[in-house]
Structure 1
């Protein structure tokens, strides 16, 4: 019989182990620092953050966009951010007319400006619609940040900043993505509005 407490204990232990592994990953920490600085510069130049992912990562995209536009911890001016996962008419039109693999890239073709940044979220690094979106960023010479797991997949070959978190389970990878995303938002918020307070 399944022991629910044991399952919870195992999942918590897995999460703790994965989070501790981040602290020992100098490449990830350096990439996080560089990606966050890129986003700060984007906002200083009047740019906008676009975010996309599938499934749970779509929800994370919307979650993070809300933190930038509203606030994370302290009152401040809004920072422009948009999840590309929310407009059902656009998503279904592109999916129907061109194919699901283009639901994000076509939006980026319409929206991206030189000072913008695209944040891609994919646990596997293999999502074809994220690959296509990252390719558009390359074509337009717009910086891209990748939150992913495992070995980074095809997406890690295209993105400018790869944040590849440890862990083998999708749920653990998604937990770590939220830690990194919240920290990135906190860092940008502090740098833009509260550094000298």
Structure 2
């Protein structure tokens, strides 16, 4: 596909737009409340408790949130800063055979719930990421996790009416802009991984 290319591209205007978006990203993060951070700390505590009992943490989401789910699972399986043992974290967004089979044979809204039914056990932690707070497959996955006896956590934005009925902990970024919400989600996710790693493996 051909486009107009770089004809008429204004670098100075691009720099101004980039700076404005960086400022807005910073403003969203600065509006994160002490209550949200307390919920994040509780999420970390529950995860540590689950790991201590031999349980796992699972992540899922759609699109950019699927990428974030995989990112956070990878930080726990691999490493954030410290050389240490792997932790039992999985993203339910990576098995394309399962995802497409479930979507084709049942419904797309079941792609996470069906995997949860087969994998999740009582005491596990299940994390759904949805910037809208209304993704049908994320809500269904969290509800399935509750039925399995797991603790449920949601990363979302300012719209929380539906997601609060499905999650024990709701990490609601104070924004309705998808990009700003996702940027804050990965920041909060990195903090969560740091809290886990430091508690379990730091000698300090």
**Is 2:50 the partner of 1:42?**
yes
Q: Say if 1:48 and 1:116, in contact at 8 Å, map to a contact too.
A: yes
Helix, strand or coil: the match of 1:104? helix
Which residue pairs with 1:152 in the alignment? 160
Q: Which has more radius of gyration?
A: 2
Unaligned 5+ runs, structure 1: none
CA RMSD of aligned residues (A): 1.2
Whole-Å Cα distance in 2 between the matches of residues 153 and 59 of structure 1?
24
Helix, strand or coil: the match of 1:147? strand
**Is 2:128 the partner of 1:120?**
yes
**Displaced runs of 4 or more, over 2 A:** none
Helix, strand or coil: the match of 2:90? strand
Q: Say if 2:173 and 2:184, in contact at 8 Å, map to a contact too.
A: yes
Equivalent position to 1:21, from 20, 31, 35: 31
**Is 2:38 the partner of 1:30?**
yes
**Is 2:149 the partner of 1:137?**
no
Query: Deviations for 1:60-90, whole angstroms, at most 9, x for unmatched residues?
Result: 1111111000101110000011110001100
Helix, strand or coil: the match of 1:130? helix
Q: Say if 2:127 and 2:152, in contact at 8 Å, map to a contact too.
A: yes
Q: Say if 2:121 and 2:149, in contact at 8 Å, map to a contact too.
A: no
Helix, strand or coil: the match of 2:31? helix
Whole-Å Cα distance in 2 between the matches of residues 140 and 168 of structure 1?
31
* Count of residue correspondences: 194
Helix, strand or coil: the match of 2:55? coil
Whole-Å Cα distance in 2 between the matches of residues 153 and 92 of structure 1?
29
Unaligned 5+ runs, structure 2: 1-7
Whole-Å Cα distance in 1 between the matches of residues 161 and 100 of structure 2?
26
Query: Deviations for 1:23-47, whole angstroms, at most 9, x for unmatched residues?
Result: xx12212211111111111111111
Whole-Å Cα distance in 1 between the matches of residues 128 and 161 of structure 2?
13
